[in-house]
A and B are shown apart, each in its own frame.
Chain A
Amino acid sequence: MTEDARMSTAGPTVARPPMRRLSRARRLRALVAVTVCAALSTLSLAVTMSEMAEAQQLPSPESLKGQSIAVPGGSVRPPAGAVNLPDTTSNAVRRPGQGEGASFPSAPSDTVLGHESVTEGLWDRIRHGQAGESVLTGGERGVLIQSAGEAWRLLRNDQVVRYGGQMLLAVIAAIALFFLVRGRIRIDNGRSGRVIPRFSLAQRIAHWFAAVLFVLLAISGLVILFGKSLLMPVLGPQGFALVASAAMQGHNLFGPLFLPAVLAILVLFIKGNAPRLVDLSWLAKGGGLFGGHASSYKYNAGQKIWFVLTIVLGLAISVSGIVLLFPDTLADRSQAQLANLAHGIAAVIFIAVGIGHAYIGSIGMEGAFEAMAQGTVDENWAREHHDLWYAEHSGEATTDRKRAEVSAAAAGDGIMQGARP
């Protein structure tokens, strides 16, 4: 075969104008900005992850011994009038469940005045896990105060709120900075006027169904997580009580729908999301965010990571959330506390990455949004961002947008079937 013949079998190729290059200064600025952003995000992510790891091992009641009085925040206080004396005997603390004849000491009438009596140190002992008689049966029988709850409360209200908040702010700041420096990522060669079908109707419906729920759940969830610190000072206790009640009811109602949404995403988007060698070079080139070209098939490495995160975090959030809706199904309180922490931490990470996804899918990149709106993308966009996918589908590029949209709706980037009886 001659050289010419080989050329001709390659099919019609559109002459490719030289890529517009970002100016050197601009590239440098982008590089710095992105490095800073990435560092910030990684840092907050790392901190959050370590908190999550810590959350996996809630302190045992014994490790809390002697701290109980000195906790910051101090909302768990002995009830007014309770007797609080230094812990004298380590034997006073009994693990819950041991129940070796332990019973709630009967309270003589003089206890309230703090006179010496059998109730001496009672609050402290119970606070440290002394068992007693309770109406509960099963795993938590005999537990009067589940002290791990305090550790959970602190982790959630201090660490998760603080680092989670910082992480979200960092991500928003990073995106804002990136936008200021790099601006909207344009289609370098401009729009070609020809479009290629990309996402099917089923894929887009699953995406937007999940997206609507994501937004509703994120807003209500953020109110629940951060409301006490951010909204209560503004709205006052009564106003916040109203907003918190609304957020909690809405969150609980929409929550269970997120699981089928995530499963639909899993089923409809798994094809094409398996890791490939080219993903490494895409990552090495930073996805072309600072200029340059990074090759990819239908989904680039960033999208694949987002896909995995969506499934993993989505399932974690769904399962922990559903468990929290039905706490009676859990063995004991500590499981609910773990579920709550996992739920909150996974959610904050999900929201943080989700903001990035929403940004790059809309204002961050020219030509990206229409993939999920009309289901089609501009030919030049495909060539610049998904060249290997484009190579497989260049033959489907057409100026007939309506036709491409219909084809995409019916078959995604596949072949639309004809008339059927």
Chain B
Amino acid sequence: MSVIEFIEGPLWSFALAVFVLGIAWRIFSLLAMKRPRDLSVAREGAGGVGGATKALVIHSIPHGGNLGRTIYHFVTGYMFHIGLFVLVLFAAPHVAFIQERLIGADIGWPEMPRWAFIVAAEAAFAGLILLYVHRLTDPVKKQLTDIDDHLGVWLTFIVMLTGCLALQEAHAGLRAFHMLTVEALMIYFPFSRLMHAFTFAFARARTGATYGRRGFTP
């Protein structure tokens, strides 16, 4: 078995298993922890479900007059996240991969035109670099930052970089190198703050449910 075959075969299966099982375990553990029952009486016409739903939505955008204060994160954060999602899900090579390797059938998964995912890549790179440079220089963020933050950014950056280096889709070696970095990211994912891709929903819903009953979802 060649190195490329190993990366694209067994190593991929292993990384996928760690990724899926790790995430499942994290979510299961969180849900299995005890949480106190709220014995207060909800305000008339207000409820936890509505609050949770509202929190899930409104925390995607700055609200409460805070747009000006958080505009840097808002713009760069969305550049990165939207760019990354578009790349991961709709770039032509990814679509082919998803259909062949993950689904096993051509289900007509939509694919972006090349120019669109190039634009997405530009946005994602600019967003990630700007966020990271801010992390290294902003006095508030510097204090919060730990090794996990650095590793997460670097791994994501390297994955994106190797992906863009393989854009010509002409060399199996470049594709395998990209796959290798993706696998490293997937194995690291469940153990890291990258889990926020899933945990964000639990935090938002928790706050929304608590405060929604009170009549205002912050």
**In chain B, what residue has the closest Cβ to A372?**
B137
Question: Which of B118, B129, B170, B173 interacts with A253 by CB under 8 Å?
Answer: B118
Whether A253 lies near B167 (C-beta < 8 A) is: yes
Q: Is B122 an interface residue (CB 8 A)?
A: yes
**Closest CB of chain B to A403's CB: distance in Å?**
10
**Closest CB of chain A to B88's CB: distance in Å?**
16
Quick one: given A241-B171, A245-B170, A249-B164, are A257 and B139 in contact (CB under 8 Å)? no
Question: Which of A204, A249, A402 interacts with B167 by CB under 8 Å?
Answer: A249
Contact residues on B (Cβ < 8 Å of other chain), bracket:
20 to 34
CA distance A245 to B136 in the complex (A): 32
Quick one: given A201-B138, A245-B174, A256-B122, are A209 and B166 in contact (CB under 8 Å)? no
Whether B166 lies near A402 (C-beta < 8 A) is: no
CA distance A379 to B118 in the complex (A): 46
Whether B136 lies near A246 (C-beta < 8 A) is: no
**In chain A, what residue has the closest Cβ to B72?**
A205
Quick one: given A205-B137, A245-B170, A373-B137, are A253 and B121 in contact (CB under 8 Å)? yes
Whether A209 lies near B133 (C-beta < 8 A) is: yes
**Closest CB of chain A to B71's CB: distance in Å?**
12
CA distance A205 to B72 in the complex (A): 11
CA distance A112 to B78 in the complex (A): 62
Q: Is B161 an interface residue (CB 8 A)?
A: yes
**In chain B, what residue has the closest Cβ to A373?**
B137
CA distance A204 to B139 in the complex (A): 12
Quick one: given A257-B122, A405-B139, A409-B137, are A209 and B130 in contact (CB under 8 Å)? yes
Whether B137 lies near A249 (C-beta < 8 A) is: no
Whether B136 lies near A248 (C-beta < 8 A) is: no
Whether B161 lies near A245 (C-beta < 8 A) is: no
Contact residues on A (Cβ < 8 Å of other chain), bracket:
20 to 34
Chain A residues within 8 Å of B139, by CB: 402, 405-406, 409
A107-163, CB < 8 A from B: none
- The interface bits of chain A over 375-418 (1 if a CB of B lies within 8 angstroms of the residue's CB, else 0) are 10000000000000000000000000010011001000000000
Chain B residues within 8 Å of A249, by CB: 164-168
**Closest CB of chain A to B159's CB: distance in Å?**
14
- The interface bits of chain B over 168-186 (1 if a CB of A lies within 8 angstroms of the residue's CB, else 0) are 1011011000000000000
CA distance A306 to B130 in the complex (A): 23
Chain A residues within 8 Å of B121, by CB: 253
A-B interface pairs (CB < 8 A), number: 64
Residue from the set A213, A245, A260, A375 with the largest chain B CB neighbour count within 10 Å: A245
Whether B125 lies near A254 (C-beta < 8 A) is: yes
- The interface bits of chain A over 201-226 (1 if a CB of B lies within 8 angstroms of the residue's CB, else 0) are 10011001100110000000000000
Question: Which of B122, B133, B164, B165 interacts with A205 by CB under 8 Å?
Answer: B133
Chain B residues within 8 Å of A201, by CB: 134, 137-138
Chain A residues within 8 Å of B170, by CB: 245
Q: Is B187 an interface residue (CB 8 A)?
A: no
Whether B174 lies near A246 (C-beta < 8 A) is: yes
Chain A residues within 8 Å of B168, by CB: 245, 248-249
**Closest CB of chain B to A40's CB: distance in Å?**
34
CA distance A249 to B171 in the complex (A): 12
**Closest CB of chain A to B6's CB: distance in Å?**
18
**Closest CB of chain A to B68's CB: distance in Å?**
10
Q: Is B92 an interface residue (CB 8 A)?
A: no
Whether B133 lies near A253 (C-beta < 8 A) is: no
**In chain A, what residue has the closest Cβ to B157?**
A212
Chain A residues within 8 Å of B46, by CB: none
Q: Which residues of A contact B (CB under 8 A)?
A: 201, 204-205, 208-209, 212-213, 241-242, 245-250, 252-254, 256-257, 260, 373, 375, 402, 405-406, 409
What are 19 A-B pairs at a CB distance below 8 A? A204-B133, A204-B137, A208-B136, A208-B137, A209-B129, A242-B173, A245-B165, A248-B168, A249-B165, A249-B166, A249-B167, A249-B168, A250-B164, A252-B167, A253-B118, A253-B121, A402-B139, A405-B139, A409-B138
Q: Using A246-B165, A250-B164, A254-B125 as known contacts, list a sample of 7 further A-B pairs with CB atoms less than 8 Å apart, ordered by residue number in A.
A: A201-B137, A205-B130, A245-B168, A253-B121, A253-B122, A253-B125, A406-B139
The list of the 9 closest CB pairs from A to B, nearest first, reads A246-B165, A249-B167, A208-B133, A242-B171, A253-B164, A245-B168, A204-B137, A250-B165, A406-B139
